[in-house]
Amino acid sequence: MQNLKNKTPSTISIVLPAKNEAQNIAALLVKIKALKLDAEILLINDGSTDNTRKIAQDLGVKVITHPYSLGNGAAVKTGARNATGDILVFMDADGQHDPDDIPTLLEKLNEGYDMVVGARHPSTHSSLVRRFGNWIYNRLASYMTQYKIEDLTSGFRVVRAHKFRKFLYLLPNGFSYPTTSTMAFFRSGFHVGYIPIHVGTRKGQSHIHILKDGYRFFIVILRVGALFSPMRFFLPISTVMFLSGVGNYAHTYLTDGRFTNMSMLLLLSSLFIFLMGIISEQISSLHYKYIEEK
C-alpha cells in the first residue's frame, strides 16, 4: 500500500469509537497499522465492559475512555476534540469498514473536498429493511439539502478537522452523527464527495436498533433540515394545509352553503406554519453567518 505521507502535508488522525469490540478491534488495528499512513490512531472506549481498552493499549494505540457509555456520537465528539490531525478519519471499530479504503478516501479529499464519505453498495446492507430505510433517508435528505446524498448514514468518512468541529454542538450522542454532519456540511456550502465501498460482516451483536434508531435518524433529518433549509420543510406543510382548507371550504359550500370552523382552522394553520417558516429562515441565516465567522 502506497504511503500517503508525501502526498499530503496534513496530519491525519484515525478516530475509532468502540464499545465492547474485543472480538474485532485487534484485527482492525493491525490492518490500520499495516497501511503505514503515519497517522495518529485514537480509540474512544465508550464504556466497554470487555477487554476492548486493554487490547488497544497493548497494540500501542492512544485510548480515551468514557466511564460509562454515552453513545456513538458522543465518542465521535470526544475523538474530534482530542485528535491532533488536520484530517480526521472516522470508521467503525466492528470490522465492517476496510482500512484499505482509507487511502482512496484521502486521495478524494485532496481533490478539494471538505468531507468524503464511503458510500456503501446497497447489496452490502444486512437486510432488505435496512436497505429500504437507507433509501428513504437518502431521498428525504437529498430533498432537504437540494443535493444528491448517496449514503446518509455511513460512519466511514474523512473530514477536514477545523470544519467538522464547527458542528460538534449539533451532533447527537447516538448513532445519527453521520446524518447530522452530512446535512450540515451540504447546507453550509462545504464540498462533500463520495467513494463507493463494500462493508463486511461484523462479529458480535450490532448496537443499532432498526426501529428506535431509525426513528431517531428521521427526527434528526427533519431537525437539521429545519435548521439549514426551513422553507423546504415548512412550505410543503403549509401548502398542504392551505389546499386542504380550500378543498374543505369548497366541499362544505357546495353541499351546505356555509364556511365551517374546520376550513378556518386549516387556513389559519397554513398561515401560521408559513410564518414559522419565514421566522426560521431568518434564524437560519443568522446561524449560517455564525458558522462562517467561527
Q: Per-domain residue ranges for the chain?
A: 12-209, 230-293
pTM: 0.77
Residue 36's alpha-carbon distances to 29, 30, 33, 179, in angstroms, are: 12, 11, 6, 30
What is the per-residue pLDDT for 272? 94
Angle between helices 177-187 and 128-145 (to 10 degrees): 30
Q: Are 152 and 141 contacting, i.e. CB atoms less than 8 angstroms apart?
A: yes
Mean pLDDT along residues 25-46: 94
Grid cell in block for residue 79? 475523538
Using alpha carbons, select from 72, 183, 188 the residue that is nearest to residue 138: 183
Region 212-217: mean pLDDT is: 62
DSSP secondary-structure letter at 25?
H
Grid coordinates of 210: 432498526
Confidence of residue 178 (pLDDT cuts 50, 70, 90): confident
CB–CB of 225/234 below 8 Å? Answer: no
- The yes/no answer on whether domain 12-209 falls in CATH 3.90.550.10 is yes
Distance CA 218, CA 204 (A): 26
With contact defined as beta carbons under 8 Å apart, do 91 and 70 qualify? no
CB–CB of 177/73 below 8 Å?
A: yes
* CA neighbours closer than 13 Å in the CB half-sphere of residue 176: 25
Which residue has better confidence, 290 or 253?
Answer: 253
What are the tens digits of pLDDT across the range 72-126? 999 999 999 999 999 999 999 988 899 999 999 999 999 999 999 999 876 665 5
What are the backbone angles phi and psi of residue 65, rounded to the nearest 5°? Answer: -110, 130
Q: Taking a C-beta distance cutoff of 8 angstroms, is the pair 234, 277 a contact?
A: yes
**DSSP labels, 116-150:** EEEEEPGGGSSSHHHHHHHHHHHHHHHHHHTS--S
| pLDDT for the residue 203 | 56
